Amino acid sequence: MSDSSMVHNGTVADITLHGLKIALHEDSGQCGSCSIKSFCKPHEHDKDNRNIIDVTISATDKFSIGDEVTVYCSERQQTAAMILSLALPCLLLVAAVLTALAADISEGKSACCGLAVTVAYYALLYAFRRKLRKRFNRMKICHRLS
């Protein structure tokens, strides 16, 4: 785990067939300003209003509900998520508008083309969200605290 990894402490809230649901501690960082929060799905909350994230692991039998753990996301995953969610759509938008303008299409219609390409890109991301989640494998557990 590198120094630039995103690290959070949390408690095992639930055990599923494919992994764990971790309730993040409030003192382990805020997700509000996080650029990749959509990839770790922090919009779920427990009864104490703590953020819940899914961690995919195969050895769920080594954990029990209430275990204290530390989870992390590597810098590489953070960078890839930023590129997919922010940089690539911006580039596609600009490229579509410039291409339409180069083809002598009016500015208004060029802007609509750019928006259409961006909407299509986000629709593709949504359609392939399950494959993307598997590829990123999101957060990982680096060790148990208790």
CATH of the domain at 44: 2.40.50
List, in sequence order, every beta strand (DSSP E) within 1-146: 6-15, 19-24, 44-45, 51-56, 68-73, 140-144
Is there a single domain that holds both residue 29 and residue 11? yes
Is there a single domain that holds both residue 38 and residue 97? no
Is there a single domain that holds both residue 17 and residue 58? yes
Is there a single domain that holds both residue 41 and residue 94? no
pLDDT per residue as tens, the chain (146 positions)? 555 567 778 888 888 888 888 888 776 555 555 655 555 555 555 666 677 777 878 777 888 888 888 887 778 877 888 898 889 999 999 999 999 999 999 999 999 999 999 999 999 999 998 888 777 656 667 666 65
Q: Rounded to whole angstroms, how far apart are CA atoms 103 and 99?
A: 6
Residue 116 lies in a domain: yes
Is there a single domain that holds both residue 89 and residue 104? yes
Is there a single domain that holds both residue 13 and residue 29? yes
Q: Rounded to whole angstroms, how far apart are CA atoms 70 and 142?
A: 6
Tell me how many domains the chain contains.
Answer: 2
pTM value?
A: 0.64
By residue range, what is the domain housing residue 121?
A: 78-129
Is there a single domain that holds both residue 103 and residue 56? no
Predicted pLDDT of residue 88: 95
Residue 1 lies in a domain: no
Predicted pLDDT of residue 54: 79
Predicted pLDDT of residue 120: 97
3-state DSSP assignment of residue 7: strand
